[in-house]
Structure 1
């Protein structure tokens, strides 16, 4: 599903070039759930963005569903994400001038889905927001906005679902509800799920956790190993 070979990432900063990722080699099979963990600044979110083609690796190879993301231009990457990936951000990234229904339907319309609004309504119902379709983001709580973001990511029925700190801006009780919804959407659509988290509870629900330190893979733990 995803194969990274010797991936590196460097960015230009005010003080010069900053090395973010160093020689990451990683394979994620179909339908696996992977948690990326590690201290702040370790490169977790950058690695997730590289996996989604939202950040271009400066070295190595990123293969997704047999396609080389590092060889695609921006238009090709956008089409690939639209057809195969769903992304959930910590800060929701909803369009403030659109209703919940419109936010979820927009990527479907861009993909040419004929029943975009019907499918969007179905996904909002699946996350418990069937009664909030006509509300704008400012009229909803943080937890509700994240539910809309989950519905938007899941509506295209993606092969790969990426989530960057999906519970980071939420209180514990709401975060737990979002966890349940996230894994429920994964099961519903059969997606491969890769998420960045500081939450021990969320990481423990993953099939495998990968720890990053200073932009390098530090260790891996599989759920079966943790239970022994």
Structure 2
């Protein structure tokens, strides 16, 4: 059996609050197979986004283990984690996180330049064209709609050809039509680049397109639905 892209065993996250320690995640054990699409659902405060952050090494587990592509994330210092994310992951946030002083092309090319890719701008242009923004290369985020900014964020995440694509409420700030378009693009990126996709969503229609859906409640796994398995 192929090694899972993600393997969590008894993963926990406890943060300090004003009234003392707060258990955000408790004993999460799960695996995500290569090429699979996993949806994380549950009510607000159930721990969905925190779990995604643990998977991406953006938050450090306070208990248990998290392995990504066979590498123990908890054993890495911040510098190693940053390089590992750069080389293996793409992350898409609900609030875009574009650099306001950079054009769409520069936003997408920046992580490629940091990785030392000589074709950074050519690849960035190709990815922007792939998400329908070939006419927006020289526009700044403030000159684009929310849907267009999320497309830039998708292109930036996909440009390095990550093995793992993480998306936190990628349609949360968009209207119905733009949300539908972003959903199509997310799954298109998975199909085009063969990435494993993990996404947090409140949208039933987005969850329904995933191979598996894990339902969280109060920091634990409440249940799992299998919508159909990805091809091995």
TM-score by length of 2: 0.96
Partner of 1:168: 172
Runs of 4+ in structure 1 off by over 3 angstroms are none
Helix, strand or coil for the counterpart of 1:19?
strand
Q: Distance in 1 between matches of 2:107 and 2:73?
A: 26
Q: Distance in 1 between matches of 2:51 and 2:23?
A: 12
Q: Match for residue 206 of structure 1?
A: 210
For 2:21 and 2:33, locate their aligned partners in 1 and report how far apart those are by CA, in whole Å: 33
Summarize the alignment of residues 1-228 of structure 1 with structure 2, pairs less than 5 Å apart: 1-224=5-228
Q: Could you give the per-residue CA deviations for residues 74-102 of structure 1, whole angstroms, max 9, x where no partner exists?
A: 00000000000000000000000000000
Q: TM-score, normalised by structure 1?
A: 0.98
1:205 Cα deviation from its structure 2 partner: 0.2
Distance in 2 (CA, whole Å) between partners of 1:44 and 1:127 is: 27
Equivalent-residue separation in structure 1 for 2:129 and 2:170 (angstroms): 19
Deviations 1:93-140 (A, max 9, x none): 000000000000000000000100000000000000011000000000
Distance 2:30 2:193 in 1: 23
Secondary structure at the counterpart of residue 25 of structure 1: strand
Residue 11 of structure 2: SS of its match in structure 1? strand
SS of the residue 1:174 aligns to: helix
1:46 partner SS: helix
**1:145-196 C-alpha deviation (Å, 9 max, x unpaired):** 0000000000000000000000000001110000000100111110000000
Size of the aligned set, in residue pairs, is 225
SS class of match (1:169): coil
CA distance in 1, matches of 2:110, 2:22: 36
C-alpha distance in 1 between matches for 2:66 and 2:137: 37
Tell me the CA shift for residue 16 of structure 1. 1.1
Q: Distance in 1 between matches of 2:158 and 2:169?
A: 16
- RMSD over aligned CA atoms reads 0.8
Shift of 1:40: 0.4
Shift in Å, 1:224: 3.7
d(CA) in 2 for partners of 1:19, 1:223: 30
